[in-house]
Amino acid sequence: MLLLFTNSNMKGITITHPDTKKLSAEISLPHSKSESNRALIINALSGNVCNIQNLSDADDTILLQKLLSSNADEANCENAGTVLRFLTAYYCSTQQEKVITGSERMLLRPIGKLVDALKTLGADITYLDKEGFPPIRIKPSSLSKQNKVSIDASESSQFVSALMMIAPSLDKGLEITLTNAISSQPYISMTAQMMVQSGIMVKQEENSIVIKKQKYAATNFTINADWSAAAFIYEIAALSNNAEITINNLLPNSFQGDEVTKEIFKLFGVKTSNNKSGIVITKTKSVVPDYFTFNFTNTPDLALPVAATCGGLNVVSDLHGLKNLVIKRIQQGLCFSAGGLQTEY
């Protein structure tokens, strides 16, 4: 039996007889919306002087582009949490009057810690329904009340990134103190690296970030493919007996913390090598660890493909750092009884 799957991003996946599970493929993945959304905010704060190549075509990124160029009184962020959080800080820093809202599900996602931090700086923000949640109304107000703010970084790294990106535009710059365990630290590092690429000096220590008043420089951003999406391709390889998959537009040493996918799936027999256009992942022999454990606090988007891999291979697993998946509206714990999966929230 021969199966062939194709779509706009895949040049083809060929699978031979299911007993052998031999797989060969050449794929181009979507570009990173995390990099794209940061590049769009930085571009807007720079006066739209940046050049962005390979911008993601994800719904969130398309929506962010639309809202950044809109003069409407209301910004409906639909289901896009990143868009809502980044725009909340952006509209405050640019002193725009806006009502920010979203879908019914989005109105259940907390924003109170970011709003509190912005109010400390002088923002004029009012909740229009439930305290701590959208919708909110922003009125023009100078963020010059003070230049220091503390924020609980355990709920979302996006709150921190939102503050970081507006910091160079503030009259006194900004010193951010991070409290509690930091969630998704690599995304904060991504923000810092993209700001540095744009000419901004960012001083990072263990629990503080200091950014002085500066100007963003005209920057050429080339968006890499999405390592989070690549994890599902690695999962396919891990569940195969024999696989060779070329991912043409995925580059090593990216801004993305989810590049740790390479190291995780090495434990399941999936090897990664580089070629001129991207990477090649291969699996030629069965490798099933007796026990697997990992803390996903910094890389929550990898939890599901890794958990499914453990379940599919009947690997006893102990996965930690999953509490923020609940905030992302995954309401129930992961359970793969065949693999003996244990989860901790």
Q: Under 8 Å CB-to-CB from 71, ≥6 apart: which residues?
A: none
Structure tokens of 41? 């905010």
Q: Are 98 and 316 in contact (CB under 8 A)?
A: no
Helix axes 81-93, 59-68, angle to 10 degrees: 20
Q: Are 39 and 197 in contact (CB under 8 A)?
A: no
Torsion angle in degrees (nearest 10) through CA of 17, 18, 19, 24: 70
Closest by Cα among 336, 257, 345, 254 to 301: 257
Residue appearing with tokens 């801004």? 255
Q: Which residues are catalytic?
A: 301
Residue 225 DSSP class: B
CA distances (Å), origin 292, targets 4, 232, 295, 319: 32, 18, 11, 8
Helix axes 157-166, 81-93, angle to 10 degrees: 30
Q: Are 13 and 4 in contact (CB under 8 A)?
A: yes
CA distances (Å), origin 319, targets 76, 93, 113: 35, 39, 27
Structure tokens of 57? 């075509």
Alpha helices in 49-111 (DSSP H): 59-68, 81-93
CA distances (Å), origin 186, targets 113, 183, 255, 257, 296: 20, 9, 8, 5, 11
